[in-house]
């Protein structure tokens, strides 16, 4: 596993290629060098063999002329024992060994097809002169070392043919051959030694270059590339803050720099996308909440409208019989008082008075229902909203003081004149103030803020308290008639519904925002001009 991973590394491939090239080049260099060295040594040996051969030829010449065979024999034996000389022999034209360093072979015939003779005798007539290289041969001695043989033809010179012995007529050009054999053992040893030294130094050089280049590749290529690889892996894992620690100024350093820049850009883009999706998510959430609110609002408006219709019908239907009950009750009371009947039960008049009062109370409820159902008549006139607020506050001042409620008014100096039914707006405001006071049994702050929205011809009235707040689940119901959370019977549940009816009649809107134990804010929006639906009434 580790091995295959290592073999795949770029640095390893680079290193392997370098080493391969180095080994090939060095092998080639060594081969050429050794070849040259060997040929140089051989040339020396051949030259030495030539010199020895000429020396023998010249030193035996006189004895040969005088036909003093013993002298020749002596010279050959002496020179044949010289160091590096493997043997010297002279054979005649027919191939008979006339003289030899080894006495035992004297008189033997050499094989004319043997290597030494073949060079000249390959053609019918023996060559008189041959370049020295062609007169040499290399063969292995019986002792196992290499031997260089050099043949040297002994010419029939005029001195010879004219000699007193008359042994050779002048027509014969070559008298015999001098064969000198030089041992190549020392030369071969030298070559082997040189070979070994060269191999040793080549291995040393390759190892040194290998180690140095290996360390260089490891630190300059492998490590930075590895850091880059780790960097890319970190990015792919999503770690865009990862810093690649490559400080070199070479191509890898440049790559790391570009990489860091790319990461930075990627991070920016990623953050932008994330922010965008977050914004989008937020927007979608906001929009869906808005949609939900609008839907709830529509449902509420429809519900209120049908409740309004129902209330109007019931109120109108009850109004007449209620009127009858009240009128006849009053009549009965008057008649009973006029008749002044002796001994009649006084409690009758008392009961009739109760009927009268309860009927009046029902009448008021019916009136409130009619206001909620927007069925009551309205009296529009121009009024400064600040005055309406002040008057309303004055009417609830007693409640505020008893419950220890502080009032905070924020009313701009601007003209806040609106066209409205002052009494009804006052009634709506009072209902809201009373609710706030009731929500703060231990005191608190009632804050009234008027905010004109001049461009839109609207005025906002914000009524906030620091009371108990309204539970979220009942908020959709608080504007319904007869909805109350006041268990002790102190609440009839008509305050907000009447207020709602009044605001709607003025073509305004009312909304609530509340937090349990923190407080409630009612926001009323009223048009400053006469509501469109009411314009005809005033004209």
Residues in contact with ligand ADP by CB under 6 A are 431, 435-436, 439, 465, 467-468, 470, 478, 483-486, 491-497, 520
Residue 435 interacts with Mg ion (CB under 5 A)? yes
Distance CA 368, CA 500 (A): 11
Residue 87 binds which entry of ligand ADP, Mg ion, none, with Cβ cut-offs from 5 to 8 Å by kind?
Answer: none
CB 463 within 8 A of CB 433: yes
Q: What does 492 interact with, of ligand ADP, Mg ion, none (CB < 5 to 8 A by kind)?
A: ligand ADP
Strand partners, 410: 449
Please say whether the beta carbons of 89 and 187 come within 8 A. no
> Choosing among Mg ion, ligand ADP, none, which partner's interface includes residue 282 (Cβ < 5 to 8 Å by kind)?
none
Shortest separation between residue 261's beta carbon and ligand ADP, angstroms: 60
Residue 176 contacts which entry, ligand ADP, Mg ion, none (Cβ below 5-8 A, type-dependent) = none
Q: Please choose which of Mg ion, ligand ADP, none residue 483 contacts, taking the beta carbon within 5 to 8 angstroms, the exact cut-off set by kind.
A: ligand ADP
Q: How far is the CB of 466 from ligand ADP (least distance, A)?
A: 10
Length of the chain: 539
Closest to 45 in 3D by CA, of 144, 131, 149, 118: 149
Comparing every residue's Cβ against Mg ion, the nearest one is 495
Task: Give the chain's end-to-end CA distance (angstroms, integer).
Answer: 99
When the beta carbons of 118 and 482 are compared against ligand ADP, the nearer one is 482
Residue 439 contact among Mg ion, ligand ADP, none, beta carbon within 5 to 8 Å by kind: ligand ADP
Q: Which residue, 53 or 436, is less far from ligand ADP as judged by CB?
A: 436
Residue nearest to ligand ADP as judged by C-beta position: 495
Residue 228 binds which entry of Mg ion, ligand ADP, none, with Cβ cut-offs from 5 to 8 Å by kind? Answer: none
Nearer to ligand ADP, 60 or 466 (CB): 466
Select the span of 210-218, 254-262, 273-281, 429-437 touching Mg ion (CB under 5 A): 429-437
Q: Identify what 235 binds: Mg ion, ligand ADP, none; CB under 5 to 8 Å per kind.
A: none
Give the Cα separation of 36 and 116 in Å (integer).
26
Q: Which is nearer to ligand ADP, 20 or 301 (CB)?
A: 301
What's the Cα-to-Cα distance from 98 to each of 19, 101, 109, 179, rounded to whole Å?
Answer: 60, 11, 9, 11
Question: Is the CB of 95 or the CB of 493 nearer to ligand ADP?
Answer: 493
Please select the residue that binds Mg ion; options are 87, 231, 308, 495, rule is CB under 5 A.
Answer: 495
> Residue 442 Cβ, how far from ligand ADP at the closest point, in Å?
13
Min. distance of Cβ 484 from ligand ADP in angstroms?
3
Q: Which residue has the tokens 């009313």?
A: 411
How many Å apart are CA 316 and CA 375, to the nearest integer? 9
Number of residues that bind Mg ion (CB under 5 A): 2
HEC profile of 228-290: HHHHHHHHHCCCCCCCCCCCCCCHHHHHHHHHHHHHHHHHHHHHHHHHHHHHHHHHHHHHHHH
> What does the block give as tokens for 523?
């926001």
Q: Which of 135, 138, 168, 139 is nearest to 152 (CA)?
A: 135
Structure tokens at 450: 């008027």
Binding site for Mg ion (CB under 5 A): 435, 495
């Amino acid at each position: 596993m580790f091995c295959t991973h290592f073999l795949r590394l770029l640095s390893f491939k680079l290193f392997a290629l370098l080493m391969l090239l180095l080994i090939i080049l060095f092998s080639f260099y060594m081969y050429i060098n050794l070849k040259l060295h060997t040929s140089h040594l051989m040339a020396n040996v051949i030259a030495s063999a030539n010199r020895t051969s000429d020396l023998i030829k010249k030193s035996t010449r006189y004895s040969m002329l005088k036909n003093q065979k013993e002298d020749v024999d002596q010279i050959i034996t002496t020179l044949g024992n010289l160091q590096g000389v493997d043997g010297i022999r002279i054979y005649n034209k027919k191939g008979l060994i006339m003289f030899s360093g080894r006495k035992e072979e004297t008189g033997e015939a050499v094989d004319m097809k043997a290597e030494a003779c073949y060079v000249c005798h390959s053609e019918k007539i023996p060559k008189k002169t041959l370049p020295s290289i062609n007169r040499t041969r290399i063969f292995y001695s019986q002792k196992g070392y290499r031997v260089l043989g050099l043949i040297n033809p002994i010419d029939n010179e005029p001195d010879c043919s004219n000699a007193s012995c008359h042994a050779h007529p002048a027509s014969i050009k070559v008298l015999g051959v001098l064969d000198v054999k030089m041992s190549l053992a020392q030369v071969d040893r030298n070559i082997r030694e040189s070979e070994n030294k060269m191999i040793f130094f080549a291995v040393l050089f390759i190892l040194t270059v290998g180690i140095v280049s290996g360390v260089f590749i490891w630190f300059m290529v492998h490590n930075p590339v590895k850091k880059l690889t780790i960097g890319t892996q970190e990015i792919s894992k999503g770690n865009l803050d990862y810093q690649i620690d490559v400080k070199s100024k070479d191509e890898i350093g440049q790559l790391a720099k570009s990489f860091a820049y790319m990461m930075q850009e990627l991070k920016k883009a990623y953050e932008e996308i994330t922010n965008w999706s977050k914004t989008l998510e937020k927007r979608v959430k906001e929009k869906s909440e808005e949609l939900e609110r609008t839907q709830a609002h529509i449902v509420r408006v429809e519900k209120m409208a049908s409740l309004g219709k129902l209330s109007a019908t019931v109120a109108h239907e009850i109004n007449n019989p209620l009127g009858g009950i009240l009128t006849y009750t009053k009549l009965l009371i008057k008649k009973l008082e006029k008749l002044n009947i002796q001994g009649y039960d006084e409690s009758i008049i008392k009961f009739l008075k109760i009927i009268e009062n309860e009927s009046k109370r029902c009448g008021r409820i019916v009136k409130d229902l009619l206001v909620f159902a927007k069925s009551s008549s309205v009296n529009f006139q121009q009024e400064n909203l600040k005055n309406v607020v002040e008057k309303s506050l004055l009417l609830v001042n007693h409640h505020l003081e008893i419950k220890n409620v502080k009032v905070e008014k924020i009313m701009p100096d601007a003209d806040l004149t609106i066209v409205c039914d002052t009494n009804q707006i006052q009634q709506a405001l009072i209902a809201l103030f009373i609710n706030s006071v009731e929500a703060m049994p231990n005191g608190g702050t009632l804050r009234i803020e008027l905010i004109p929205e001049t461009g839109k011809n609207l005025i906002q009235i914000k009524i906030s308290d620091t009371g108990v707040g309204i539970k979220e689940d009942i908020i959709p119901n608080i504007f319904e008639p007869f909805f109350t959370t006041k268990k002790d019977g102190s609440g009839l549940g008509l305050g907000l519904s009447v207020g709602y009816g009044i605001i709607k009649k003025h073509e305004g809107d009312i909304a609530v925002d509340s937090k349990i134990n923190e407080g409630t804010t009612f926001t009323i929006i009223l048009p400053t001009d006469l509501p469109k639906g009411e314009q005809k009434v005033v004209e």
